[in-house]
Amino acid sequence: MTELPERLDVVAVAPHPDDLEILCGGTLAKLVRQGYRVGIFDLTSGEPTPRGSLEKRQQEAETARQILGVQVRVNVALPNRVLMDGPEARFALATLFRQYRPSIVIVAMGRTPAASPDHFQGGLIGEAARFYSQLTKWDERFDGTPPYRVPHLVYAPFPFDAEVRHWHSQFVTDISDTIEIKLAAVRAYESQFDTHRFQRVEHMIRSANGFHGARCGYLYGELFALPTPVGAPDLVQLVHGSKGSIAPVQLPGKDHLPMG
């Protein structure tokens, strides 16, 4: 077995380069700025698309990585458009989990009937690979890497998820200071977003992140979910931990929002 790469704190997984920028790019950029080592694992190349090419999409993904500041970006090279949950896809992703040994895996999740079916399959692959990563007596299926248990799974829900999903628990991260970095990273995908399409996606992002943020007293926020309820050994600490860090929200042209 070759030597393992340096550990990552947080790894985010989605089918297509640009999915994670849109879903949680503000949080990934913020995590890096908070001192964490962050990785993005794209399950597929995202190609073919009408205006893209393999080389162009790779360049765009690398530009977006640099804008976010994320340390590692890996393409798992599973097939785009026909991405399916199955043993080989699970082995491939679990091998990367074993190599990079993240504390937290963020999996893009949700059914998107009006968009690519890869999104839902990618979520299933992410969940299964997180489980497979810890399995013993199967090292040959994971390139000889030793078992590794990923302690925490977090979902990044697709915003156009058609299901009314009853997540056990949700939380919102404050991305007020990284929203512009997020939008710049999305803008890097020129083959996917010409000026007109970028205006639409920017409107969608500002609306969704503005809505989620407003619910928690932030200018912009990104929504996440957990597969379990949040455990709270100390009720006061839990409640203070989430509310204690709220600074007065600054809006352009306004001093304060009228909220606590």
Determine, following the binding rule CB under 5 A, whether residue 42 of this chain makes contact with Zn ion.
no
Q: How many residues bind Zn ion (CB under 5 A)?
A: 2
CA distance 186 to 216: 24
Q: How far is CA 47 from the centre of its chain?
A: 19
- Beta strands 169-174 and 221-226, pairing class: antiparallel
Q: Which of residues 119-158 bind Zn ion (CB under 5 A)?
A: none
Determine, following the binding rule CB under 5 A, whether residue 21 of this chain makes contact with Zn ion.
no
Which residues, including other chains, have CB under 8 Å from residue 162's CB and lie 6 or more apart? Answer: 111, 112, 113, 114
Q: Which of 16, 98, 101, 130 binds Zn ion (CB under 5 A)?
A: 16
Question: Minimum distance from CB of 127 to Zn ion (Å)?
Answer: 17
Q: Let me know: does 11 contact 27? Beta carbons within 8 Å.
A: no
Which residue, 16 or 130, is less far from Zn ion as judged by CB? 16
Question: Minimum distance from CB of 111 to Zn ion (Å)?
Answer: 13
CA distance 75 to 192: 18
Determine, following the binding rule CB under 5 A, whether residue 174 of this chain makes contact with Zn ion.
no
Question: Minimum distance from CB of 105 to Zn ion (Å)?
Answer: 18
Q: Let me know: does 182 contact 18? Beta carbons within 8 Å.
A: no
CA distance 65 to 86: 28
Nearest alpha carbon to residue 79 among 66, 88, 69:
88
Q: Which helix (H) or strand (E) holds 240?
A: helix 235-243
Which residue, 16 or 187, is less far from Zn ion as judged by CB? 16
Question: Minimum distance from CB of 123 to Zn ion (Å)?
Answer: 11
DSSP annotation of 252 reads T
Q: Which of 11, 17, 19, 154 binds Zn ion (CB under 5 A)?
A: 19
Which residue, 19 or 60, is less far from Zn ion as judged by CB? 19
Give the residue nearest to Zn ion (CB).
16
Question: Minimum distance from CB of 16 to Zn ion (Å)?
Answer: 4
Question: Minimum distance from CB of 254 to Zn ion (Å)?
Answer: 35
Residues of this chain that interact with Zn ion (CB under 5 A) are 16, 19
